A and B are shown apart, each in its own frame.
Chain A
């Protein structure tokens, strides 16, 4: 089912939930809504589900405008963060509930519930009650309940947030696999950019009720169109610093205090044309500690992550996060030299926060 959202606005009294959102989702696509809490992603999802009525704008499922269609007539399935299972019903009754409401015959209900339960790996739990299940099992039941009525659209509202880290990893893979197999158009709300990056075909990054970007994960990562997207996508987050970019003898140079970094023309030309200071962004993996580094600084803190160390290096008043091999055993207070891969640097207008490299 293709979903077309045009100029969607949802207000609660004077509080704006979402404003002027336009988004076209293709049939069978897996889209993630990514953003910090309160950015309007869940509001958008609930508006799509029909729980909220849009204040303005149009929502189309296929060719049908569904603005005022009741949730029960939209043929959607939804998985909630809190699982939202019905505690007074058995697992079987929980999964069968949508079928019961559709007045599917009893024996057919039985068959479909068992089929879905087996796919979800909860076939032997059907007689239990939600309270007797672990969090992961409950989440599978919730997913099974959403799938059993063969919905046109699947909605996920941070479904993995309540699970422990290990289980989250497994479920992430399972949901992605299931979605690809069934080919159901899916929208997945999350504030975890790793989930969004790994699962989604395209990610809609939202902030303060506005759509910031809507693109494939790699595009968002390599060519962020706003400073917010650049900072939100990627872990650990991108380093930012204010620099002046100047052209010198056909060479480009980014300068800030004691830092002077040479730039190639491809990256250097657009910011050099911008009057005044610009914001430079560089990802942790594009900074190396090297003896022949361009810039000297001092290690402020070392956070071991196991596979590698997260190192905070201070250069004058600027701070850079970067990743380093644990074998080098860096210590706080140690002086180091940094090497920047400036071919990956991003530049943003400090006022509009738009990228100077990539036009929208």
Chain B
């Protein structure tokens, strides 16, 4: 106490009147928020103004830069909120109302600033949108015109209130499809509308115009969302951050999986929302699954079991042959010296790097010749499961051999010598002593091979042309090719059906992997 006073008295330290803590924190938060805004603006400018044109100079499409720029601008407010909220986080433990108050205040101010920016630069919610300048409503008969802007695009094209729009050109549309089509149109693009006026069917071409309606009411949802977002950021436990980042990065996949699962159990989906025929939430059904087993999807008749069996046969044959050949070749390459060993090793590596697509035609010829041979041709020729599996195995082997060689290299020589001295033959040593040591490797390679075989498309599709022989991926493609209109919910069901064995495989494999690592192999050190 006295020491401090003496400091003051002596005049060595000048203290200014400290600002109230809340005001100071608000200032800190806003400063960080503004820095966040500037950083994101800078990033957007860097992408669209500098990197984009550079790419364009090299005749590379700059769409990616476009997308990234938009992403940066989209993320801009959130980055600002996160920056501002980080100041408030220090109060979450002791004084949560204060933290919340501080965060929400900064958010409101930042939101106002960003919105003002949007307003001035015609961006975001104030950006001009393509419009036909009429109000529409979905009815059972079609899309009914409820109101027209006088002198607007629809009005000049002589549309009238009460017209019921049924199609754009020849494509039948509902309101959702209509709006989607409209939002993708450019200014002055002609849309030829087909509509009913009374009992009369008419056509009019309406030209799209860009409208920017600067109504402040549209800002409210954005503000509420921003406030909710900041509140979450303030009270989010710090150790969740990596998970949230991971889930964020995985979200395209997760959304995809979610859609597939939802779609297979519903009549129709709009985005991720399952809908019934009246556009209401619901419409759950098992018909997509039933039609798989009933063997009729959109008029295409089939029997799912032989297709499933073909998939399974390719995958299983491939797994066994790849494991057997790879492990034996890997053993020989790891343990024995023979002429051509080094050449073989580097050659297989080159083979592995060779793109399979380029070999399709030559292999086609080989299989065709093989198919002409008696007996052998029945098993591994063109248009046989054996032939397909043979080619798939060949493509998988270089990787397998290298993988297995690596695993064998890690087994100490002593273990093998010990087995030989104990009285085992070379093969028995390989089979009884060494193979169990590389079980994790065998399992990994087995999974690769099985999934590779199960999901194989190019090779089965190429070498089973014009036969009933097809596996699930090939069948999936046929389904899309040969039915019109494509019922995507049923396609999704077939896709999910194809995934089931993989799921089962993984559940078991995971158990097994964990068991192996719990067992330990210290004894061999």
List A residues at the B interface (Cβ < 8 Å): 46, 49-51, 70-72, 74, 76-78, 80-88, 97-98, 101-102, 129-131, 133, 138, 145, 149, 155, 157, 162
Residues 488-525 of chain B: 1 if any A CB is under 8 Å from the residue's CB, otherwise 0?
A: 00000000000000000000000000000001111111
Q: Give chain A residues whose Cβ lies under 8 Å from the Cβ of B523.
A: 83, 85-87, 129-131, 133, 138
Q: Determine whether the beta carbon of A72 is less than 8 Å from that of B519.
A: no
Q: Give chain A residues whose Cβ lies under 8 Å from the Cβ of B522.
A: 87, 130-131
In the assembled complex, B11 has its CB within 8 A of some CB on chain A:
no
- Provide the bound-state CA to CA distance between A342 and B513, in Å: 69
* B425 closest partner in A (C-beta): A72
A-B contact pairs, 15 of them (CB 8 A): A46-B417, A50-B421, A51-B420, A71-B420, A74-B421, A78-B417, A78-B418, A80-B414, A80-B417, A82-B412, A82-B525, A87-B522, A88-B521, A129-B519, A162-B525
Instruction: Report if A51-B417 is in contact (Cβ < 8 Å); known contacts: A130-B523, A131-B519.
Output: yes
Instruction: Report if A101-B418 is in contact (Cβ < 8 Å); known contacts: A84-B412, A87-B524, A131-B523.
Output: no
Question: Considering residues A49, A86, A102, A129, which has the most beta carbons from chain B within 10 angstroms of its beta carbon?
Answer: A86
* A88 closest partner in B (C-beta): B436
* A51 closest partner in B (C-beta): B417
In the assembled complex, B35 has its CB within 8 A of some CB on chain A:
no
A49–chain B nearest beta-carbon distance, Å: 6
Residues 8-24 of chain B: 1 if any A CB is under 8 Å from the residue's CB, otherwise 0?
A: 00000000000000000
Q: Give chain B residues whose Cβ lies under 8 Å from the Cβ of A74.
A: 421
Pick from A72, A133, A138: contact of B423, CB under 8 Å: A72
A120–chain B nearest beta-carbon distance, Å: 16
- Provide the bound-state CA to CA distance between A71 and B423, in Å: 7
Q: Determine whether the beta carbon of A101 is less than 8 Å from that of B423.
A: yes
Q: Give chain A residues whose Cβ lies under 8 Å from the Cβ of B520.
A: 87, 129, 131
Q: Determine whether the beta carbon of A84 is less than 8 Å from that of B436.
A: no
Residues 415-453 of chain B: 1 if any A CB is under 8 Å from the residue's CB, otherwise 0?
A: 101111111110010000100110100000000000000
The 10 closest A-B pairs by CB, nearest first: A130-B523, A101-B423, A84-B414, A84-B418, A131-B520, A72-B423, A88-B436, A87-B521, A98-B422, A80-B414
Question: How many CB-defined contacts (below 8 Å) exist between A and B?
Answer: 93
Q: Give chain B residues whose Cβ lies under 8 Å from the Cβ of A133.
A: 523
Q: Give chain B residues whose Cβ lies under 8 Å from the Cβ of A50.
A: 420-421
Question: Considering residues B415, B437, B519, B523, which has the most beta carbons from chain A within 10 angstroms of its beta carbon?
Answer: B523
Q: Determine whether the beta carbon of A71 is less than 8 Å from that of B421.
A: yes
The interface size bin for chain B is 20 to 34
A107–chain B nearest beta-carbon distance, Å: 20
- Provide the bound-state CA to CA distance between A133 and B414, in Å: 19
A344–chain B nearest beta-carbon distance, Å: 42
Instruction: Report if A84-B415 is in contact (Cβ < 8 Å); known contacts: A129-B523, A131-B522, A131-B523.
Output: yes
Q: Give chain A residues whose Cβ lies under 8 Å from the Cβ of B412.
A: 82, 84
A233–chain B nearest beta-carbon distance, Å: 28
Q: Give chain B residues whose Cβ lies under 8 Å from the Cβ of A97.
A: 419, 422, 424
A89–chain B nearest beta-carbon distance, Å: 8
- Provide the bound-state CA to CA distance between A272 and B260, in Å: 99
Q: Determine whether the beta carbon of B424 is less than 8 Å from that of A85.
A: no
Instruction: Report if A49-B414 is in contact (Cβ < 8 Å); known contacts: A82-B525, A98-B422, A131-B521.
Output: no
Q: A51-B421, A72-B421, A101-B422 are in contact. List 17 more A-B contacts (CB 8 A).
A: A49-B421, A76-B421, A81-B414, A82-B524, A84-B412, A84-B414, A84-B415, A86-B415, A86-B418, A86-B433, A86-B436, A87-B523, A87-B524, A101-B424, A129-B520, A130-B522, A149-B423
Instruction: Report if A84-B524 is in contact (Cβ < 8 Å); known contacts: A51-B420, A71-B420, A78-B417.
Output: yes
Q: Give chain A residues whose Cβ lies under 8 Å from the Cβ of B524.
A: 82-85, 87, 130
Question: Considering residues A81, A85, A129, which has the most beta carbons from chain B within 10 angstroms of its beta carbon?
Answer: A85
Q: Determine whether the beta carbon of A88 is less than 8 Å from that of B414.
A: no
Q: Give chain A residues whose Cβ lies under 8 Å from the Cβ of B424.
A: 72, 97, 101
* A82 closest partner in B (C-beta): B414
* B420 closest partner in A (C-beta): A71
* A52 closest partner in B (C-beta): B417
A-facing residues in B375-428 (Cβ within 8 Å): 412, 414-415, 417-425, 428
* B524 closest partner in A (C-beta): A87
- Provide the bound-state CA to CA distance between A88 and B519, in Å: 8
